[in-house]
């Protein structure tokens, strides 16, 4: 009997969130016949893109036991830089290149401070967020510009289709597959997880733990650069502080995701599910004309649920301490 209860606990801990997600889909589709239309599904996926991409970068960094909040400011700053470049007539290729380069440079600076100088990643990246907000205002003067007035070509990156699927969806799912395979199948990906679990184990077998850590910050920065690019193109212009909403949602998606599939551990399928969950709720509630202020309320309830699930899981392992 104990064994049975144990298995049931395990099942709920690993798949509870997925069940809740499926339940939400069923409820929404019964509530509104438009919900499951292919057009609406595409809508949800496209809306999730920048959140999903950002959350993948964050997952990678949280997996190794660190945190990086810089994306909240980086996205807006990259938007400002992009508009400057587009207005000056730079080619789409060079714009994309610069966005990604800024992201990597940001990751490198964070790596130097956190790994090299042993500063707290929370404080460093919180400061980076403020700095990027300041730079955004400095570069863009806080003015909103729309891209279509200057260059329509670059917008095709997010407005086009590749086969049956819109490009943003391909970017998100492609990055998901890449991250997932990298983390679960390659040595480096596994070492990143090991860093978060027990860094001494990594050092003891002669691996260069600091280099791995620094490299992961740079990779995270690259993904955050991509987030800035996609978000700016999706909005179609540079909006003041455009990355700020990502702060809470990306953290939320990663946490929510840690309650799925491998309960209590950050993992990429979980993060994808978490990100989709947020936008599914927004979409489903909006379709049914639910007042906007109920949306965060429902999302909050789901976060509580996620925490409850991971707590159940942890309860199995933890011993009584006083």
Applying CB under 8 A, which residues contact another protein? 181, 185-187, 190, 193-194, 197-198, 200-208, 265, 317, 319-322
To the nearest whole angstrom, how small is the minimum distance from the Cβ of residue 217 to another protein? 21
To the nearest whole angstrom, how small is the minimum distance from the Cβ of residue 6 to another protein? 13
d(CA 298, CA 314): 25
| Residue 154: its H or E element | none
* Shorter beta-carbon distance to another protein: residue 22 or 177: 177
Using CA atoms of 245, 75, 159, 164 in order, give the dihedral in degrees to the nearest 10: -80
To the nearest whole angstrom, how small is the minimum distance from the Cβ of residue 264 to another protein? 10
* Shorter beta-carbon distance to another protein: residue 4 or 187: 187
Structure tokens at 160: 């086009």
To the nearest whole angstrom, how small is the minimum distance from the Cβ of residue 177 to another protein? 13
* Shorter beta-carbon distance to another protein: residue 102 or 194: 194
* Shorter beta-carbon distance to another protein: residue 73 or 189: 189
Nearest alpha-carbon partner for 261 in 15, 25, 12: 15
* Shorter beta-carbon distance to another protein: residue 65 or 236: 65
CA distances from 105 to 99, 112, 117, 139 (A): 10, 11, 17, 18
| Contact present, 28 and 284 (Cβ < 8 Å) | yes
CA distances from 163 to 37, 64, 166, 231 (A): 19, 36, 8, 22
């Amino acid at each position: 009997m104990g064994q049975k209860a144990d298995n049931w606990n395990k099942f709920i801990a690993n798949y509870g969130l997925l069940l809740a997600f499926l339940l939400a889909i069923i409820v929404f589709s019964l509530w509104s016949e438009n919900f499951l239309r292919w057009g609406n599904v595409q809508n949800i996926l496209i809306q999730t893109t920048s959140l999903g991409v950002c959350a993948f970068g964050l997952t990678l960094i949280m997996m190794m036991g660190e945190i990086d909040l810089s994306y909240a400011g980086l996205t807006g700053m990259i938007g400002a830089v992009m508009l400057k470049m587009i207005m000056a007539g730079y080619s789409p290729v060079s714009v994309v290149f610069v966005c990604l380069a800024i992201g990597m440079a940001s990751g490198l600076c964070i790596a130097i401070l956190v790994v090299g100088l042993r500063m707290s990643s929370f404080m460093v990246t919180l400061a980076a967020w403020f700095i990027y907000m300041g730079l955004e205002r400095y570069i863009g003067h806080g003015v909103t510009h729309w891209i279509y007035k200057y260059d329509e070509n670059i917008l095709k990156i997010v407005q086009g289709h590749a086969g049956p699927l819109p490009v943003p969806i391909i970017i998100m799912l492609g990055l998901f597959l890449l991250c997932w395979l990298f983390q679960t199948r390659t040595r480096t990906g596994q070492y990143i997880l090991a860093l978060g679990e027990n860094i001494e184990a990594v050092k003891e077998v002669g691996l260069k733990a600091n280099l791995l850590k620094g490299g992961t910050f740079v990779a995270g920065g690259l993904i955050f650069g991509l987030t800035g690019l996609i978000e700016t193109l999706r909005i179609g212009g540079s909006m003041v502080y455009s990355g700020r909403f990502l702060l809470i949602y990306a953290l939320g998606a990663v946490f929510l995701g840690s309650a799925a599939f491998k309960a209590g551990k950050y993992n990429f399928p979980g993060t994808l599910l978490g990100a989709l969950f947020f936008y599914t709720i927004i979409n489903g509630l909006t379709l049914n004309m639910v007042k906007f202020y109920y949306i965060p309320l429902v999302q909050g309830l789901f976060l509580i649920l996620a925490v409850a699930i991971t707590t159940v899981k942890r309860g199995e392992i933890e011993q009584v301490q006083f």
